[in-house]
Structure 1
């Protein structure tokens, strides 16, 4: 990968939002800063399908950037419902590596739970049919999330990452039992997030990814500021402490985990 430093552990920001206004006109510098600390890949996430062309263009313009697209649950009532065919068509792009983010969010948008659930099932079907991983956002919806993902899995297997995991330990266990992955964001690095760290510590290290969710949730020492992909290294260092591992070993493990789940990104990198 171009511009990668020597002897710096490689790592991937598995979830960010580089199309957001926070980064306008700065993407070249942001990608360069990420590469300087060993970030080999970034997955930028489209949360409204009408924005997919702009997100795709970012991935096309920057070698280390891949993308995924779906309808965020908080937008499900505002946007036209995605169709399976629509998602499958988008997935034909070589740098399109995942379906979502989708999911359930009852914290602010519980009134649209029925629409959210319908949208989630559509995305699951697309993930199953494309073989690409499902990218899940879940907040204050643990019971329905566990029920839907489990019921759908019984109808046909699919792969999945629970992005920015900060839900309860019971949901984590159910997701791990299905073979899914948990992604660690800056939340896990916050001083008062010991419960979240404990959930990760109880999980197999071969099911852990790291992410920024940039521009949100910057880890210390950047908390309260705009997050960016280079800061994933700070969260990963906390992850290494959680698993009592050397940072380089933890980074390598999360790289292998990402490669196993996001197979298209791995194949694209190998072909570059």
Structure 2
């Protein structure tokens, strides 16, 4: 049950060889991939591609880095899109609201707008009983505040890079934490320590391809979902357990977050 819980396979970096990358990923043992939207413009291309690839599923949402591009009707439009998908043949492939959240790393100048979009999308997650895929860069405590406010207890804190205290708070809220290429860099001491010590039931695997490259690729090259097994091997080594055990446990965690994936992993 090797599941990439966060991969932007729709990104333009894959336009020249997306199908070849996908086939290589399946050959490397990938059983399922979750492709989150980041703006409304990405929704239809993602859904069209997933329609032809049964082991690919998707999430719909406005990424915090792009909320300033969102029209005033963005939340209403998103709700309408969700309703249409859930009433149609791809209902089983819509597994979450995402990628949503807050990003205070680059700027907080638009914090109010980011928060408004986050709250609106959390309300949609609650309304449609869908988990959330969260972007939490430099904003974990604030995101947690709104998860509690809106009573959200299912989802993933993607690319988690917080403290153990913050990890425990996320886990107490019912969230899993996504680990990927950042964990493979020897100097990423905090992430590696979390990867070693966090109870495994709170961990899922991800690539965030084409971004967050593992150390063996380097920062300049493109990351891809076929690297997930090697990322899993690195985590198994850090935790000193067998790779098969790590894949089984993190796969089980992924199915808890995304129960619609169960039919792909039997």
User: Secondary structure at the residue paired with 1:110?
Assistant: coil
- How far is the alpha carbon of 1:169 from its aligned partner? 2.7
1:76 aligns with 2:70: no
Counterpart residue number, 1:100: 98
- How far is the alpha carbon of 1:207 from its aligned partner? 1.7
Aligned counterparts of 1:62 and 1:74: Cα–Cα separation in 2: 28
> 1:41-52 alignment to 2 at 5 Å?
41-52=32-43
2:153 touches 2:174 (CA, 8 Å); kept in 1?
no
Counterpart residue number, 2:203: 208
Per-residue CA distance 1:83-134 (angstroms, 9 max, x = gap): 3633632551321111011000011131111111111111211212222210
Residue 14 (structure 2) aligned to one of 23, 28, 45: 23
- Number of residue pairs matched by the alignment: 258
- How far is the alpha carbon of 1:221 from its aligned partner? 1.0
Residue 229 (structure 2) aligned to one of 224, 230, 233: 233
TM-score, normalising length: structure 1 = 0.89
Counterpart residue number, 1:120: 118
Counterpart residue number, 2:109: 111
5+ residue gaps, structure 2: none
What is the root-mean-square deviation of aligned Cα atoms in Å? 1.7
Aligned counterparts of 1:258 and 1:190: Cα–Cα separation in 2: 24
User: Secondary structure at the residue paired with 2:36?
Assistant: strand
Aligned counterparts of 1:96 and 1:12: Cα–Cα separation in 2: 16
Distance 1:259 1:143, change over 3 A: closer
Distance 1:252 1:53, change over 3 A: same
Aligned counterparts of 1:90 and 1:165: Cα–Cα separation in 2: 32
User: Secondary structure at the residue paired with 2:69?
Assistant: coil
TM-score, normalising length: structure 2 = 0.91
Aligned counterparts of 2:110 and 2:244: Cα–Cα separation in 1: 43
Aligned counterparts of 2:114 and 2:146: Cα–Cα separation in 1: 11
Aligned counterparts of 2:121 and 2:196: Cα–Cα separation in 1: 29
2:10 touches 2:45 (CA, 8 Å); kept in 1?
yes
Per-residue CA distance 1:180-237 (angstroms, 9 max, x = gap): 1001010111111121121233322112110100000121211221001001112111
> 1:61-210 alignment to 2 at 5 Å?
61-80=52-71, 81-83=74-76, 85-86=79-80, 88-89=82-83, 92=86, 93-153=91-151, 157-210=152-205
1:251 aligns with 2:247: yes
5+ residue gaps, structure 1: 1-9
- How far is the alpha carbon of 1:142 from its aligned partner? 2.7
1:102 touches 1:137 (CA, 8 Å); kept in 2?
yes
Aligned counterparts of 1:237 and 1:25: Cα–Cα separation in 2: 28
Which 10-residue stretch deviates more, 98-107 or 116-125?
Answer: 116-125
Aligned counterparts of 1:90 and 1:250: Cα–Cα separation in 2: 37
Aligned counterparts of 1:233 and 1:22: Cα–Cα separation in 2: 21
Runs of 4+ in structure 1 over 4 Å off:
none
User: Secondary structure at the residue paired with 1:106?
Assistant: coil
Which 10-residue stretch deviates more, 157-166 or 245-254?
Answer: 157-166
Aligned counterparts of 1:91 and 1:57: Cα–Cα separation in 2: 12
